[in-house]
Structure 1
């Protein structure tokens, strides 16, 4: 990798953590300069604006979290186990989140809802990607005979993701992983009682 590419990557990685903790509005160019150790001219040699840095930073953070979800899912054989794996990634969101500052999609969606259309669109695309992945897992479970044939995979994916993101939000706000743990237990019980095909 060329030096210029390494510098650009360094800026993106450092900025991703800042944006995910402080948000777009709360992050200044001076924050990025301080954290990267690169002067203003050096930053603008690689990016035309703060917007471009923010978008690249979001893409980086989201892809890193997505890879952790994929790793967790790939370790499971059953469809129900693969769905629960999403929750395990954020099992210790208070002390050890998969990316510093919590869920990049959630943080970006909340802040940019009425303020930054491009970041909101990135967060929305992330939402659809995760829902599509969950729906695919559920559909596979139906085909394999693990889940009931009449299960609404879209509704279950939405329910699962709502519990996941709600658990992240409440646990971070309260500084207590119990919300994530309760939501995981509730979803696991729901799968057992309402979704699994009885043998």
Structure 2
């Protein structure tokens, strides 16, 4: 990696934390300069505009979050274990800060509007990828007989993501982890309820 590439990467990393904490509209160029230690010209040597930097910063933040989920499900056998790994990973995100300021998807989805169409599209794409991951895990469980055939993967994705993101919003608003903890416990029970009856019987038999 060249010195210019290293500088560009450093700007993106530091801007990702700043934008995720203060918002894309709330973070000024002065804030970006203070965070990166660079003058305006130094930043514009690598990015044509604040919007271009914001998009690169969001892409970086989202990539870091996605890597956490890939690591979380790797090596887990079965859909139940993978879904619980996803839930646990989200619920413990404040303890393992990848990008400061909480979930970049939630923050960007709330902030992005008609004034930031590209960021809105990026947030939609990121959410689609998360929903697709959950959908794939659930469908795999249905195909293998681990989950009930009547389970709807899209419904599970909606319930799981909406519950987690909502609980994170409450946790951030009140500064109280109890909301994430409650969501985690509830979703684990919900995931267990999706199991195929035959699979539950097998578990009960093996535990005797």
TM range (shorter): over 0.9
What corresponds to 2:201 in structure 1? none
| TM-score, with structure 2 as normaliser | 0.91
Aligned-pair CA distance for 1:137: 0.3
What corresponds to 1:150 in structure 2? 150
> Which string of whole-angstrom CA distances, capped at 9 and with x for unpartnered residues, describes residues 39-63 of structure 1?
1111111110000000000000000
Equivalents in 2 of 1:115, 1:170: separation in Å?
A: 26
Equivalents in 1 of 2:129, 2:30: separation in Å?
A: 33
Q: CA RMSD in A?
A: 1.3
Cα contact 1:93–1:172 (8 A) shared by 2: no
Query: What secondary structure, in the 3-state scheme, does the structure 1 residue paired with 2:125 have?
Result: helix
| TM-score, with structure 1 as normaliser | 0.95
Q: Which runs of 5+ in 2 are unaligned?
A: 199-208
- Tell me if 1:166 matches 2:160: no
Aligned-pair CA distance for 1:90: 2.8
Q: Displaced runs of 4+ in structure 1, greater than 4 A?
A: 93-96
- Tell me if 1:42 matches 2:37: no
What corresponds to 1:91 in structure 2? 91
The aligned length equals 198
Cα contact 1:92–1:177 (8 A) shared by 2: no
What corresponds to 1:198 in structure 2? 197
Which structure 2 residues correspond to residues 1-199 of structure 1 after superposition, within 5 A? 1-94=1-94, 96-193=96-193, 195-199=194-198
Larger radius of gyration: 2
> Which string of whole-angstrom CA distances, capped at 9 and with x for unpartnered residues, describes residues 38-90 of structure 1?
11111111110000000000000000001001111114212112112222223
Aligned-pair CA distance for 1:94: 4.6
Q: Which runs of 5+ in 1 are unaligned?
A: none
